[in-house]
Amino acid sequence: MGNIVEFKNVNKKFGKSTIIKNASFCIKRNAICGFIGPNGAGKTTIIKLLLGIIPKTDGEIKIMIDDNKTNQTDSLSSIGTIVSGPAYYGNLNAYQNIKIVANMKNIDLTDKQIEDYLELVGLDNIANKKVSHFSMGMKQRLAIACSLIGDPQFLIWDEPINGLDPTGIIEIRNLMTKLHQTRNVTFLISSHILSELDKIVDKIILINKGSIVYNGTAEELLEKYQCATLEEAYMNCMQNVEG
């Protein structure tokens, strides 16, 4: 199975500071990839580079959704995202938020389709409640629903389970598994909750101080450091990098 992302020798400078340093990695189609690193390591910057939100300084970024969309610009419309926390219109209800996001994507949704998106994330029973009155977890569920509009084949989720209670975390994990198995969706998930990533990812990208320090399967990472859990392997890897 071919790659959906190829990120080659990418650098990103802000002023005189190099934030991303010669970073390279690839993500295969239908993978569930965990993107891990300390705060300030460069995870969000790389996600913004992938999405074209900020320009690279040099290097090559390819996102290949299918044979008709083989470059980054053409592929962006086929990517669902959650970046830097949930975005929403607080003065509107959940139903209206879905409608507006769909319109922004030039997608015409029926009432039934909107209800289906809200049901997927467990918000169908409060579809008419103003989002300003939502808890953090409810806002996060709405952000996930918005990212699914248009049935994208590639989902980039930055901290998708922030603010969710244990039941919500399990429900979103089950949703990810369902999308992966039934729609062949590829995921790139940035999260600090490694115990949860441990249950679902098959590939791991580790970043530290703007450099990619591991790019491979979760199984190989556990074997490399002789660990039983992703948390242990991550800590060992970071200690090894820091020397």
For 131-173, how does the pLDDT look when each residue is reduced to its tens digit (9 = 90+)?
A: 999 998 899 899 999 999 999 999 999 988 888 899 989 998 9
Collect the ranges in the chain with pLDDT lower than 70: 1, 67-77, 84-86, 243
The pLDDT of residue 86:
67
Spatial separation of the C-alpha atoms in residues 34 and 20, rounded to whole Å? 18
Contact at 8 Å (CB) between 224 and 218? no
Q: Which amino acid is at 11?
A: N
Residue 6 lies in a domain: no
Q: What count of Cα atoms within 13 Å lies in the side-chain half-sphere of residue 2?
A: 9
pTM attached to this predicted model: 0.90
Domain assignment of residue 204, yes or no: yes
Report how far residue 207's alpha carbon sits from residue 20's, in angstroms, rounded to the nearest whole number. 10
> Is 149 inside any structural domain?
yes
Burial of 236: CB neighbours in 10 Å, binned 0-12, 13-18, 19+: middle
Domain span holding position 161? 26-242
Whether the Cβ atoms of residue 230 and residue 72 lie closer than 8 Å to each other = no
Length of the chain: 243
Structural element, H or E, at residue 230: helix 230-242
Measure CA 218 to chain center: 17
The C-alpha R_g of the chain, in whole angstroms, comes to: 18
pLDDT of residue 78: 82
Say how far apart CA 225 and CA 204 lie, in whole Å: 14
Q: Answer yes or no: is 4 within a domain.
A: no
Residue 198 lies in a domain: yes
The whole-number pLDDT of residue 164 equals 87
According to the model, what pLDDT value does residue 67 have? 62
CA distance 87 to 71: 26
How many domains does the structure of the chain reveal? 1
Question: Is there a domain that residue 15 lies in?
Answer: no
219 is a domain residue: yes
Give pLDDT, residue 205: 97
Is 38 within 8 Å of 238 (Cβ atoms)? yes
DSSP, collapsed to helix, strand or coil, labels residue 214 as strand
* Burial of 203 (C-beta count, 10 Å sphere; 0-12/13-18/19+): buried
Residue 155 lies in a domain: yes
Pick the closest to residue 82 from 229, 187, 215, 238 (CA basis): 187
What CATH number does residue 129 fall under? 3.40.50.300
